[in-house]
Structure 1
């Protein structure tokens, strides 16, 4: 064994001390080492719980409590402020939008009228003088649904104005009134009645109707420079009727035309069932209820019943419709034991302009002029001043 070389020179104090300590250690009796009481052996699971984390370098310092509070506060503010801004300004915008929606809607004013209409108010039993354009608006609101298309409402306004101008020129007018407010002439309702009918939607609906009336101000339909009888009704059976097929008078501008827009509308189809005895009483004839009835039907150009022959007796389609209160004179009859089932198409007499048909045309982009020229043949749009100067002069 090779001896390690020792450096020559005076040994340092550290070297002497170290050697002496080793010699003393050899001379001391061995001591028994006892495990510290606080370092008892513990189960592995407990050791894991008390396992310390060791870090490279210095162990992390604990944050002082005030600093931690400040940092948490800053973090909360950073997260909370955007939410606060959105809520604050969002609510403000919402309130602003709400306040804008709640602004009262301005009422549309009707244009001036050249004359007034004396209307017999049936419920009040008195005559009311109503400016022409106000009267027209009241008729449109009463005769056609306000939710119809604007062009359909314009067509209705034109028909209503034409009717009253024609009636004031050629109608059977009493000393007290020009017309009544019932279906005898045209249905008319005033402001108080319409407010009850329309409720909260009164202003909105009347504004729409007034716009339609103003858009046709002073206009009337004429045939050979004379105002026409602008018949109208709710719903066709797919065709309109020649005037002479329901009324007695033949009018050249009230011809049967196709009106497919009515199909599928709310009043297109209906069904009524009566006992044979009820039908016999309504038609003032005796009908046997214990056997099959002989029924024959002929039809008009408008596909409505021209004549019904039942058990050998003949009736016009109009008679049957009116006496049985059917919606239309286009009907079929089916016998079921001692009952008769009447299935009708359309609603109304069928002459002139179909209101649901007009609305269907408007939905397709047709104008009110297109509508009236479809349902009234050979007519022109004129003015009250040119057509009825005598009425305007009054």
Structure 2
């Protein structure tokens, strides 16, 4: 009886402290993405050293070989503001790692200089090294660099897959309130790249913009000649079709038909969500959103993170029907 009483007096108080703490930690909204056991460097402990990425540095005009996880840090730092929520930065790390693992697994490098595997520009993924980041971040370098490292380490080794294969993890800055179906921008149906609502993007400074140009420039860039009456009545263009994401699918300008993508590219617009008005013989084009609109919206990801969503939830919202897996199953070291 005395032993039993001693057990209750010593063990029970400890259990009353430890168990609630464990429950809170388990259900915390800030819990990391589930990843394999890691070393202090963030690499997967059960595998050989991480692969390396041959990055062509455009300004230096040379190829540098960079450990994969270090490369991901440079991409996240270049592609997303370090001030964003940590779970948004983690989602960006997952997308960036998925992109490069998919590219390395496919082994198709015809679009880069010989000996390289990826460019450091937005043609693939933007990448910045430490010296470049120090020049940009200045006195904030240490704080921002640690934040990026934390996001990458918190997702180390994980990529986004669909039916066991790395996805085409496209992302962009800001939507017009909806992401876009892949087939309505690239004419290629991709099951996980489907339109979803993204109301958080209204917080983005790039949510709306106005571009002005002369009618002469407008006609020259599109290769059209506008009728004087159509100009005077404001009927020089007409939207024929809208996409699922409420962007311009097809539009008639003068006597020609264009896709929204064609108009965006020819005029250098922020997005395919646009409207046009004439003022004093000058054209004003109002756009909503910034980027192609397919895949993960970065400002949408940040908005979701502010509401307490984890990186995995963000990823599975913007990429439909996907899973998270260890990339070593796909790309052995």
Measure how far apart 1:284 and its partner are: 1.6
Measure how far apart 1:388 and its partner are: 2.2
Contact 1:276 1:288 in 2 (8 A): no
Measure how far apart 1:111 and its partner are: 2.4
Contact 1:110 1:210 in 2 (8 A): no
Measure how far apart 1:171 and its partner are: 5.4
Q: Is 1:115 aligned to 2:56, yes or no?
A: no
Match of 2:105 in 1: 169
RMSD of aligned residue pairs (Cα, Å):
1.4
Of 73, 78, 85, the residue aligned with 1:137 is 73
Contact 1:139 1:187 in 2 (8 A): yes
Matches within 5 A, 1:49-128: 110-112=41-43, 114-128=50-64
Q: Is 1:226 aligned to 2:165, yes or no?
A: yes
Contact 2:94 2:158 in 1 (8 A): yes
SS of residue paired to 2:238: strand
Q: Is 1:377 aligned to 2:320, yes or no?
A: yes
Q: Is 1:333 aligned to 2:264, yes or no?
A: no
Matched residues in 2 for 1:257 and 1:305: separation?
17
TM-score if structure 2 supplies the norm length? Answer: 0.82
Q: Using the TM superposition, name which of 337-346 and 221-230 deviates more.
A: 337-346
Measure how far apart 1:336 and its partner are: 2.3
Of 286, 289, 303, the residue aligned with 2:225 is 286
Q: Deviations over 1:120-145 (max 9, x none)?
A: 00000000000000000000000000
Matched residues in 2 for 1:388 and 1:123: separation?
29
Q: Is 1:345 aligned to 2:291, yes or no?
A: no
Match of 1:20 in 2: none
Larger radius of gyration: 1
Contact 1:110 1:133 in 2 (8 A): no
Measure how far apart 1:319 and its partner are: 1.0
Measure how far apart 1:248 and its partner are: 2.3
Matched residues in 2 for 1:184 and 1:247: separation?
15
Matched residues in 1 for 2:146 and 2:313: separation?
23
Instruction: Between the two structures, name the one with larger relative contact order (CA 8 Å, sep ≥ 6).
Output: 2
Q: Is 1:367 aligned to 2:313, yes or no?
A: no
Q: Is 1:149 aligned to 2:85, yes or no?
A: yes
Contact 1:318 1:329 in 2 (8 A): yes
Matches within 5 A, 1:311-326: 311-326=254-269
TM-score if structure 1 supplies the norm length? Answer: 0.70
Matched residues in 2 for 1:110 and 1:333: separation?
52
Q: Deviations over 1:178-228 (max 9, x none)?
A: 001011100001111111011011111010000000000000000000000
Q: Using the TM superposition, name which of 232-241 and 110-119 deviates more.
A: 110-119
Matched residues in 2 for 1:250 and 1:237: separation?
21
Gaps (5+ residues) in structure 1?
A: 1-108
Matches within 5 A, 1:201-212: 201-212=140-151
Q: Is 1:262 aligned to 2:208, yes or no?
A: no
Q: Using the TM superposition, name which of 164-173 and 152-161 deviates more.
A: 164-173
Match of 1:310 in 2: 253
Measure how far apart 1:335 and its partner are: 2.0
Contact 1:234 1:356 in 2 (8 A): yes
Q: How many residues align?
A: 282
Measure how far apart 1:170 and its partner are: 2.1
Contact 1:254 1:351 in 2 (8 A): yes
Q: Deviations over 1:159-186 (max 9, x none)?
A: 0000000011225314411001011100
Measure how far apart 1:337 and its partner are: 4.1
Matched residues in 1 for 2:283 and 2:137: separation?
39
After superposition, the Cα gap between the structure-2 partners of 1:171 and 1:341, relative to the gap in structure 1 and judged at 3 Å, is farther
Q: Deviations over 1:73-121 (max 9, x none)?
A: xxxxxxxxxxxxxxxxxxxxxxxxxxxxxxxxxxxx7424510000000
